[in-house]
A = this chain, B = another copy of it.
Amino acid sequence: MRYIPHTEADVRTMLDRIGADSVEDLFQSIPEKLQLRRPLDITAAATEQEVLAELRALAEENASSHTHGWFLGGGAYAHFAPSAVDAIVSRSEFYTSYTPYQPEISQGTLQTIFEWQTMISSLTGLDVSNASLYDGASAAAEAVLMALRVTRRKRVVVAETLHPHYREVVRTYLDGLDTEIATLPRSASGQTEVLAEAVDDTTACVVVQQPNFFGCIEDLESAAAAAHARGALLIVVVTEALSLALLRSPGEAGADIVCGEAQSFGVPLGFGGPHLGFLAARDKHVRQIPGRIAGQTVDSAGRRGFVLTLSTREQHIRRERATSNICTNQGLCLLMATVYLSLLGRVGLRRLAELNLARAETLKSALRAQGLALPFSAPTFNEFTVRVPDSGEAALERALGAGMVGGLDLRPFDAELGPAVLVCATEQSPTDRFETLATCLAGGAA
């Protein structure tokens, strides 16, 4: 086996030194009857050439923006990642190392985390960030748990326009804890109706997504005012991180915790993972933040360096009193995003966001030209809801016939909305197919 260096002579030498007769003997602490006395019933080993062929065949059975015109978003976005990102991520110094427990030989990873924390703090408009969480949905759940800890309250108010998968994950995480979840309805504009009476003195937090699941840009100031009026925190969830480059930062608008998904920053779609959960907060809550955090320090010669810090929050020190159970998180995806943001930079990221907005607006015009209605009046970023004549399923089937994945059928997510599709335009969406898409969604053949 090419991954295992032991020769038979090596094995012999080692057994002799150990004082064992055979490799079998080493497993004597496993009671005989518990040992498996047959080979595992899985397919026999394949050669590298065979494995490659098998996996190529499996890969070819999946659609993607390489095979179809792409207009599907809904929490995961088909953005272009410059080749430089993968070139860096492919350096084995980064991808074959562990969590940087030994800072003197992990400065590459640690400085990257520190740079990421700076970037995400700046983008969200908050003070501090952690070094990633599993994904946007669990980040939202962790943010809620954090708010529960900070406020020592038990009620959580969640906007109905929060991504339905995120709502499910929040519910899963809270299940079993002594908490209550209330919801804020969607208004006719597509935005969340922030009812002052929905927030009370037992409310730990209000959770709003920006832009929301239907693409609409929320009024965060009102949400912040309603939350803060009763001592609750405002949690803003972002699934399309690129919007942070364009929209007023949630921190500025009053958010106390901003969390979500940063897959848009150079992380492959990868059928949904690994993606990149992030979480940023205000300084005063730093000791309630879940997950790893890197901090600046000095070495014994007084030179700047970085370490993992504030670890008394963490499971390996605090065990059952930790702020979270998180251990392995999404380090390499954080690297991807940090490289990506370093390349795009302050000017490029803004320009890319503008390009996305412009594309989406152009697509809207094309859809309107086909007589399609956009049910919500609120402004949107690169994604929006469009009403279709028959059903989302049928509309998307027509688009597929024309070689396009035309968006997300909203029926499974919102029964009351009527036939509608969530359509997304990024810098990768083929502008020369906007009209065809419109025709398909409107009911015509391509």
Contact = CB atoms under 8 A, between A and B. Distances in A.
Nearest to A66: B56
A49 B427 contact: yes
Contact of A48 (B2, B83, B90): B83
Contacts of A83: 48, 52
13 contacts: A2-B343, A48-B80, A48-B82, A48-B83, A49-B80, A49-B427, A49-B428, A52-B83, A56-B66, A87-B90, A87-B92, A90-B90, A91-B91
Query: Size class of A's contact patch?
Result: 10 to 19
Nearest to A92: B87
Interface string A47-61: 011001000100000
Interface of A: 2, 48-49, 52, 56, 66, 80, 82-83, 87, 90-92, 343, 427-428
Contacts of A80: 48-49
Contacts of A428: 49
- Copies of this chain present: 2
Nearest to A430: B53
A93 to B, nearest CB: 10
Nearest to A90: B90
A307 to B, nearest CB: 27
Given A49-B427, A56-B66, 11 more contacts: A2-B343, A48-B80, A48-B82, A48-B83, A49-B80, A49-B428, A52-B83, A87-B90, A87-B92, A90-B90, A91-B91
A343 B90 CA distance: 21
Contacts of A92: 87
Nearest to A50: B80
A96 to B, nearest CB: 11
A66 B427 CA distance: 30
Contacts of A2: 343
A56 B82 CA distance: 15
Contacts of A90: 87, 90
Nearest to A52: B83
A48 B344 CA distance: 13
A83 B56 CA distance: 14
A92 B90 CA distance: 11
A83 B427 CA distance: 32
Contacts of A49: 80, 427-428
A352 to B, nearest CB: 11
A80 B56 CA distance: 15
A428 B50 CA distance: 10
Contacts of A91: 91
Contacts of A52: 83
Give the top 9 A-B pairs by smallest Cβ distance, nearest first. Answer: A49-B80, A48-B82, A90-B90, A49-B427, A48-B83, A49-B428, A48-B80, A87-B92, A2-B343
